[in-house]
Amino acid sequence: MTPLLERALAHLAPDLPLLTEIGEMFTAAGHEIALVGGPVRDAFLGRTSPDIDLTTSASPDQTEALLKKWGGPTWDMGRAFGTIGTRRGATVVEITTYRADAYEPGSRKPVVAFGDSLDEDLVRRDFAVNAMALRLPSLEFVDPYDGLDDLAGRRLRTPSAPEISFSDDPLRMMRAARFAAQLGFHVEPSAEAAMTDMADRISIVSAERVRDELVKLLLAPNPREGLALLVDTGLADHILPELPALRLEVDEHHRHKDVYEHSLTVLEQAIALEGPRSVAGLGPVDPVQGPDLVLRLAALLHDIGKPATRRFEPGGGVSFHHHEMVGAKMTRHRLRALRFDKDTVKQVSRLVELHLRFHGYGGGEWTDSAVRRYVTDAGPLLSRLHLLTRSDTTTRNRRKAERLSRTYDDLEARIVKLQDAEELAAVRPELDGNQIAQTLGIEPGPVLGRAYKHLLGVRLDQGPIGEDAARAELLRWWADQPESAEA
């Protein structure tokens, strides 16, 4: 046994009793079974995989019958793809019949064909580093496509010709970008060339599968590498076209930043701010625990409205007026197309819409009213908005960067002070809906909603004024409304 294999088995030691038990059960029944894919790769890398993936010569029905005798709970949501799942304690095990996935031309769903041997199963896997296996219970290492060499070289290479592999499952092209982001691997040149030539084939994959890969990429330690690969190969043109569109041509006078590079830098800076954080004069503040998908999506997409709003001004300037509003609308459209859930769509688009709000703060002369509105408009997204706004400073001018940082420190300090004094997180008008209706003698409806909104504006502008003053202001407002004459 080689030292490398010894170290990998030592990393798998906590799971070896369970793996041995399953291996003996399947071999006693006349079937082959092997640990395969990510868990084997990660064992050699010294990483822990969340799940255990096994492949077997047994059919799904045979696998299910064995697992039921074994006593573990089973589920078969992946039966159509040959997969039966089980759990022992906190460990999730998925067992898949030897197989080969392929797409019919124009189809969004892979066609599953079950195979007859471990080698046949391995050659159909996405990359050689994921085509290594450990036969069970013998722990024989199987590496027919030199995945271990690729692992040492941090290289992504397909076991079969990349054109065949990517044609069988086009989502593998996105997995290449994800592994670049997760593991820091580089894609072998022939595989990258095939990704470029076949980028349009990603369009046959369902939006849900594309979304899931994109999420894994964005939550990786270094998403920039994966995103750059998607853009450079043309895959992003089909799944996230707003990103390559940020590569605005650079004019000879360099009158504006490279928006694409700026956006990737903002993403990196936002990631660096995740977790525990302190502010000058405040000490520790509420953190955004990472990896945070909403923050990372907002950082990546915050400027996607710029291409549509770019204008060249007299005198050589460039403007992007209202790009935050346009960008918020584009963000909603793209995330919905990728089948993100409603809450994620709402939160990310709201952050994009708000990301420029701080720049109206100037040198720190915001009124308390403006600070209240900033907090109220951000709502539960305030901590993320703090990080997004800070990350959006990519100037090379050190003095300017330090000035902006100090100004935002001051804003955060003012927010904390007002929150302590006025409970801004739960700011409400000083009269509730029932009190408003009773004061004006009206029923619930649109007029009541307008009255509530007016008193909320008063609360934000003036701070706490007491119920009596709020009631007097409500009556003053009501006297100017056409409905009051009809009452």
pLDDT surpassing 70 at residue 210: yes
pLDDT of the residue at 418: 80
Residues of the chain with CATH 3.30.460.10: 1-151
pLDDT of the residue at 487: 54
CA dist 245 and 265 (Å) reads: 16
Are 305 and 325 in contact by the 8 Å Cβ rule? The answer is yes
Torsion of CA 450, 453, 459, 462, to 10 degrees: -70
pLDDT surpassing 70 at residue 189: yes
Of 123, 121, 183, nearest to 152 by C-alpha is 183
Q: What is the mean pLDDT of residues 193-219?
A: 97
CA dist 431 and 239 (Å) reads: 48
How sure is the predictor about 152, in pLDDT bands with cuts at 50, 70 and 90? very high
pLDDT of the residue at 439: 86
How sure is the predictor about 110, in pLDDT bands with cuts at 50, 70 and 90? low
Q: What is the mean pLDDT of residues 110-135?
A: 89
Of 412, 302, 404, nearest to 352 by C-alpha is 302
pLDDT of the residue at 285: 87
Minimum mean pLDDT among 47-51, 61-65, 177-181, 327-331: which range? Answer: 47-51
CA dist 372 and 272 (Å) reads: 28
pLDDT surpassing 70 at residue 426: no
Q: What is the mean pLDDT of residues 457-477?
A: 83
Top-confidence residue, 278 or 136: 136
What kind of fold does domain 1-151 have according to CATH? Beta Polymerase; domain 2 (3.30.460)
Q: What is the mean pLDDT of residues 473-486?
A: 79
Q: Which range, 94-108, 167-181, 437-451, is most confident? A: 167-181
Are 85 and 94 in contact by the 8 Å Cβ rule? The answer is yes
Mean per-residue pLDDT over the chain, rounded: 88
Q: What is the mean pLDDT of residues 283-288?
A: 89
Residues of the chain with CATH 1.10.110.30: 154-240
How sure is the predictor about 468, in pLDDT bands with cuts at 50, 70 and 90? confident
pLDDT surpassing 70 at residue 27: yes
**Would you state the structure tokens that stand for residue 129, as one six-digit string?**
């580093």
Q: What is the mean pLDDT of residues 121-132?
A: 94
Burial degree of 43 (CB within 10 A; 0-12, 13-18, 19+): buried
pLDDT of the residue at 424: 61
User: pLDDT tens for residues 321-345?
Assistant: 889 999 999 999 999 999 999 999 9
Q: Is 308 helix (H, G, I), strand (E, B) or coil?
A: helix
The residues facing 134 across adjacent strands are: 35, 141
Numbers of helices and strands, H then E, in the chain? 24, 15
**Would you state the structure tokens that stand for residue 228, as one six-digit string?**
């750059």
Domain 154-240, CATH number (from 1.10.110.30, 3.40.109.10, 3.40.50.720, 2.40.50.1070): 1.10.110.30
Q: What is the mean pLDDT of residues 14-31?
A: 94
pLDDT of the residue at 102: 62
Are 306 and 259 in contact by the 8 Å Cβ rule? The answer is yes
